[in-house]
Amino acid sequence: MSSSQVYLKKARYGKDKVKVMKVYRDGKWQTCVELTVALTLEGDIETSYTEADNSVVVTTDTCKNTVYIMAKRSANVDNIELFAQEITEHVLKQYKHIHVAHVQIIKHKWSRMLIDGELHPHSFVRDGEDVQTTHVTQYRDGNKITIESGLKNLLVLKTTGSAFHSFYRDEYTTLPEVWDRIFSTSVDATWRFESTKPSVLRHQVNFPEVHASVKKITMDTFAKDDSASVQATLYKMQQQILRDNKSVGEVDYSLPNKHYFGVDMSKFKIDNTDKNLDVFQPVADPSGLITATTARKPAAKL
């Protein structure tokens, strides 16, 4: 195939998996924030691919250094949506030929230790694998900005209060109906903010408050709902998030089933069924996967 028959449709590059920790000190109290950051760029960079022209390349090493220097200067490393916006704004001001800046951040969990009944001023523990995430994209054209944040790897389980029955059956269906079962999933939720104006997203949205609200609603609904299905419980979570957080435009959930099946002990003449069922086998896969996106309806036009 000749070169005249192909073209570079899109290109994007940068630095991934930049690990950074920021320590804030306030007297004897210290706070640590650990992030994994990806900074990637789009713009007038085609010739670096098509003509081996490196003069347009802001190196990936420069991207890494940018993350560290911005972390040094920033008071908002703990507020990952704001920190990401600081990086994207810097990139667009610094490099006139870069037109789109993407920052993706994973905020790792460090919780203050409880020692002798009191919170310790400078010691922390990772008491779960759930993480906060954000993906901020800022465009030079129109100074548009989009923000998608998330809660990932939140592992939850309840031993009752969940059923699954009256589902569609045909000749391929072997699943028995159950009126009480273990319900467990690893929550992966993402939400998008409605405004595309940087000034609104920076000054009018309390991003940590939204994160905390989503996590609380997820756990409260999971625990309290007399679940008819994963689908029904998931939708209740999304409805509540949109009711309580006016800045959020839509919410995605991905909830894989973490199955726990009763162990068959009939060969040993032991009843481990129905009311006597209390020994289960965790089964990693295959697993059900339930997903949905719920959004606000567009405002009615008068």
Catalytic status, residue 17: no
Instruction: Give, for 268, the enclosing helix (H) or strand (E).
Output: none
Q: In CATH, what number does 10-143 get?
A: 3.10.270.10
Which of 99, 120, 259, 294 is catalytic? The answer is: 259
Give φ, ψ of 69 to 5 degrees.
Answer: -70, -40
Is 180 within any annotated ligand binding site?
no
Query: What are 56-112's pLDDT values in tens digits?
Result: 999 999 999 999 999 999 999 999 999 999 999 999 999 999 999 999 999 999 999
Q: Tell whether 124 is in a known binding site.
A: no
pLDDT tens per residue, range 192-211: 997 767 777 777 899 999 99
281 is in an annotated binding site: no
Concerning whether 259 is annotated as a catalytic residue, the answer is: yes
Contact criterion met (CB below 8 Å) for 187 and 214 = no
Would you state the CATH architecture of domain 154-302?
Roll (3.10)
Which of 47, 60, 62, 146 is catalytic? The answer is: 60
Q: How far is CA 155 from CA 26, 85, 165, 255, in A?
A: 33, 29, 24, 10
Q: Where are the domains of the chain?
A: 10-143, 154-302
User: For residue range 138-157, what is the model confidence (pLDDT) as tens digits?
Assistant: 999 988 999 999 999 999 99
Q: Is 257 annotated as a binding residue?
A: yes
| Ligand-binding site membership of 231 (annotated) | yes
* Cis status of the peptide bond prior to 298, with omega within 30 of 0: no
In the set 15, 64, 102, 211, the catalytic residue is 15
Active site residue 135: no
Q: Are 133 and 106 in contact (CB under 8 A)?
A: yes
Q: Give residue 300's pLDDT band: very low, low, confident or very high (50, 70, 90).
A: low
